[in-house]
Amino acid sequence: MTEPRPDDQSDPNAIDVALMLRAGKGEEEAFQELVERHQQAVVGTVAKMLGGTNEAEDIAQQVFIRLWKSASRYTPSAKFTTYLFTIARNLVFNEARKRQRRKTHSLDEQEDDWHQQLADSDEIQPDIQLLQGELRRAVDKAIADLPEKQRLAVVLRRYEEMPYEEIADVLELSVSAVKSQLFRARTSLRESLQRFLDD
């Protein structure tokens, strides 16, 4: 089998696969390029799944450590991002279960994130800032309250624009089950955010 060429700019997956195969041979520069290509998406997904950015970078770092450790065993049987987000899924679900056992879901962290979000948009009028901040917090909370598979399906579909087939691979579900998860999630979100929709 011919290795995908990393200079084929028309196929991002071919670039990722070629970089991962080179990383599997111990090429740290290839792995670093993979990290740079996907770090933002992984950190963003982890942050949305865990309801804040405080630990997102640590968990994302663990995702890439696991990716590096598995590079020598990697075979491109699925899209690279499916492989990457499956690792992220496992770590996020483990962390969510640990948090549930410890019951450490902190409102203080959410408030810190809210103040940070407002600080980033000084050009917006204060009353609009407050409304946007309130809506953002309501959306974040509504997503955080979803069951984990529904939550990850929403994050991957809405924020990463992943196709149903790839979400199905990441969640180890059928495409119809993914669509069902998303339908239930959207129904729950609509109910949670009804006050804003009415306004």
Give the whole-angstrom CA distance, residue 186 versus residue 11. Answer: 32
pLDDT at 160 over 60: yes
pLDDT band at 180 (very low <50, low <70, confident <90, very high): very high
The reported pLDDT for the residue numbered 199 is 59
* pLDDT recorded at residue 173: 95
Confidence of residue 120 (pLDDT cuts 50, 70, 90): very low
Q: Are 55 and 109 in contact (CB under 8 A)?
A: no
What's the pLDDT band for 161 if we cut at 50, 70, 90?
very high
pTM: 0.75
What sign does the CA torsion over 107, 113, 114, 116 have?
positive
The pLDDT score that the predictor gives to residue 153 is 95
pLDDT tens per residue, range 12-53: 999 999 999 999 999 999 999 999 999 999 999 999 888 776
Q: What pLDDT score does 145 carry? A: 87
Residue pLDDT, tens place only, 61-94: 999 999 999 999 999 988 999 999 999 999 999 9
Across all residues in the chain, what is the average pLDDT? 83
19: left (phi over 0), alpha (psi -120 to 50) or beta: alpha
State the burial class of residue 150 (Cβ atoms within 10 Å of its Cβ: 0-12, 13-18, 19+).
Answer: buried
Does residue 136 carry a pLDDT above 70? yes
Place of tokens 């979400």: 167
Picking from 87, 95, 35, the residue whose alpha carbon sits closest to that of residue 63 is 87
User: What number is the average pLDDT over the span 120-145?
Assistant: 70
Domain range 1-105, CATH architecture:
Orthogonal Bundle (1.10)
CA 64, chain centre distance (Å): 13
